[in-house]
Structure 1
Amino acid sequence: MHKTENGEKDGTMGYLKYVLEKKSDEKYAKTIRIVLQAIMINPKYREMWLEWYSLHIMPKDNEELSTKSLIMFLVADGLWYAENMSSIQLSETEKQKVFEYLMKLK
């Protein structure tokens, strides 16, 4: 977990960096599209996805997210879904601009 300037523990920085630094991989994207379809249709798969997401992405111990961290999670999720559903592909320059903008938030 990344510690923010004020000592808070949260995983937003790691998650955001992963999403922004992930290289385009069509095989990965196809696999994720199948997984996303499955979780949208089947409640059992949705429950498994939410359990995995809570374990690997969200903060532990019901930690309350700062507003900045919440915004970063939402941006990372949105970019991850958009890129994997092929609705948007940001250039490296655009990704860097998004990251720099988010780092300016208080």
Structure 2
Amino acid sequence: MSEAHHRRKQPVLVRRQLLEVAARLAAEQGMTAVTLDAVSGASGVSKGGLLHHFPNKNALLDALFDSLSERFSAEIEEVMRNDPVPHGRFTRAYLSICASLRDRPAESSGWTQITMALLAEPRLRHRWREWVRLREEEYVGTDSSVNAQIVRLAADGLWLADMLGSHELDAAERQAMLERLAELASL
């Protein structure tokens, strides 16, 4: 019997490994590099093993999106737990996490690639719109003001500017802008 038949199966670890490899390939080479063959080869998982978890590239991209958005949501929830002011809490957390991605290159590169995929893939755009809609519904009582919407849109713009490196702000300017936006979310 081959070694694969004697090896203990660990589907959760294999799935996580495949997603990590897909994210790394996307970050290093762009979304076009994320093919089933490339992920299989770079992960050391057979193509059949990969297909067991992800029957096609769309399923892999959906799972990658899910993984990133779940981490994003968890980080937002963590920031919200530490914010004692209910009004605008979600918006301030969203702003904080969007602004912090620039300082976390490993995570930021994954989001950069998935954001590029969002622009190209209508299915992923729909999924992101759904994520936003669900949060808007969940926080309608605390984060539905025009000010909160302005802050979230500014956070998206900051996120995009950070990805593109299009706007250079010194640390003091950036901090002042983030503080002003956080204040605006509280109004």
Task: Give the alignment's TM-score, normalised by structure 2.
Answer: 0.44
SS at 1:8's partner residue? coil
Query: Shift of the alpha carbon at 1:41?
Result: 1.5
Partner of 1:41: 120
* Count of residue pairs brought into register by the alignment: 102
- Kindly tell me: are residues 91 and 19 of structure 1, through their superposed partners in 2, closer, same or farther at Cα, counting changes over 3 Å? farther
Partner of 2:87: 8
Deviations 1:68-92 (A, max 9, x none): 2112111111101110122224332
Q: Do residues 59 (structure 1) and 110 (structure 2) align? A: no
Q: Which has the larger radius of gyration?
A: 2
Q: Do residues 96 (structure 1) and 175 (structure 2) align? A: yes
Partner of 2:66: none
Query: Shift of the alpha carbon at 1:8?
Result: 3.4
Query: Shift of the alpha carbon at 1:44?
Result: 1.3
Deviations 1:10-44 (A, max 9, x none): 41111112233444344434322321221112211
- Kindly tell me: are residues 22 and 33 of structure 1, through their superposed partners in 2, closer, same or farther at Cα, counting changes over 3 Å? closer
Partner of 2:96: 17
Structure number with the higher helix fraction is 2
Counterpart CA distance in 1 for 2:97 and 2:84 is 16
- Kindly tell me: are residues 90 and 21 of structure 1, through their superposed partners in 2, closer, same or farther at Cα, counting changes over 3 Å? farther
Partner of 2:29: none
Asked if the contact 1:39/1:45 (under 8 Å) is kept, the reply is yes
Q: Which amino acid aligns with 2:137?
A: K
Query: Shift of the alpha carbon at 1:49?
Result: 2.3
Relative CO higher for 1 or 2, CA cutoff 8 Å, sep ≥ 6?
1
Runs of 4+ more than 4 Å apart: 1-4
- Kindly tell me: are residues 42 and 33 of structure 1, through their superposed partners in 2, closer, same or farther at Cα, counting changes over 3 Å? same
Counterpart CA distance in 2 for 1:45 and 1:88 is 27
Deviations 1:41-79 (A, max 9, x none): 221121222233444xx3333716112211211111110
Q: Which amino acid aligns with 1:60?
A: E
Task: Give the alignment's TM-score, normalised by structure 1.
Answer: 0.69
- Kindly tell me: are residues 61 and 101 of structure 1, through their superposed partners in 2, closer, same or farther at Cα, counting changes over 3 Å? closer
Q: Which amino acid aligns with 2:140?
A: E
